[in-house]
Amino acid sequence: MSLPKPTAANPYAPPRAAVEAPPPQNCWREGKILVLRPGSALPARCVKCNAPATQPMRERRIYWHHPALLLLYLIVAVIVRKSAKVAIGICPDHQFRRRMFLAVGWGGVALCTLAGFVGASANRGELIAFGILGALLAIIVGMVGSRIAYPARITKEEIRLKGCGAPFLDSLQSR
């Protein structure tokens, strides 16, 4: 007859848990901010709604400088700004929305510039003022409405992006 095998765990056995820390992730969230390492890729999902991204937007260079430098922007900010290349995923719905804001911005600039020239040729100051103010407003609407994710800060170690949607951020690990 054979004896039954003991089923109790050996209290003197070494632990079987991994001793090493897991490898670092390429991207994570800190509150409402997306943080990623330079050169790393984002998941192939829309950064606004977390839907699958059919194709990533083309990789583009983004810049960041401290907001206190706005008064000296033309001279200092261009010199001290930081940059990083990031390819941001976007779904077809948000791509359409982005293109519409770009079209409204460029179309508004064109129409208001035309209105300014017509006002100048007709010596109508109110039409010139409308053209200038309308063009500035169209530029702001186009820029703000078409942006997807924008830099909050860029260092040598990480890139912090604002503007990502809650569903996308919720899918990432928090630190």
**pLDDT 10s digits, 15-59:** 665 555 555 568 888 888 888 888 888 888 888 888 888 776 678
Cα gap 151→83, rounded to integer Å: 9
Q: How far is CA 101 from CA 96, 141, 166, in A?
A: 9, 7, 22
Cα gap 168→50, rounded to integer Å: 4
Higher pLDDT among residues 12 and 18, named by residue = 12
Higher pLDDT among residues 7 and 129, named by residue = 129
Task: Select from 139, 138, 113 the least CA-distant residue to 128.
Answer: 113
User: Containing H/E element for 169?
Assistant: helix 166-170
pLDDT mean across residues, the chain: 83
Report pLDDT for 52: 86
Q: Map tokens 């200038």 to a residue.
A: 132
Task: Select from 100, 93, 105 the least CA-distant residue to 165.
Answer: 93
Let me know how many helices (H) and strands (E) the chain has, helices first.
Answer: 4, 8
Q: What is the band of 136 on the pLDDT scale with cuts at 50, 70, 90?
A: very high
Beta bridge partners of 174: 29
Q: 80-133, pLDDT tens digit by residue?
A: 778 888 888 889 999 999 999 999 999 999 999 999 999 988 888 888 999 999
Q: 60-77, pLDDT tens digit by residue?
A: 888 887 777 677 666 766
Report pLDDT for 138: 94
Structure tokens at 141: 């609407």
Residue ranges of domains in the chain = 27-88+148-175, 92-147
Report pLDDT for 107: 96
Cα gap 4→38, rounded to integer Å: 58
H helices within 32-148, ranges in order?
78-80, 92-121, 125-146
Report pLDDT for 22: 52
Task: Report yes or no on whether pTM surpasses 0.75.
Answer: no
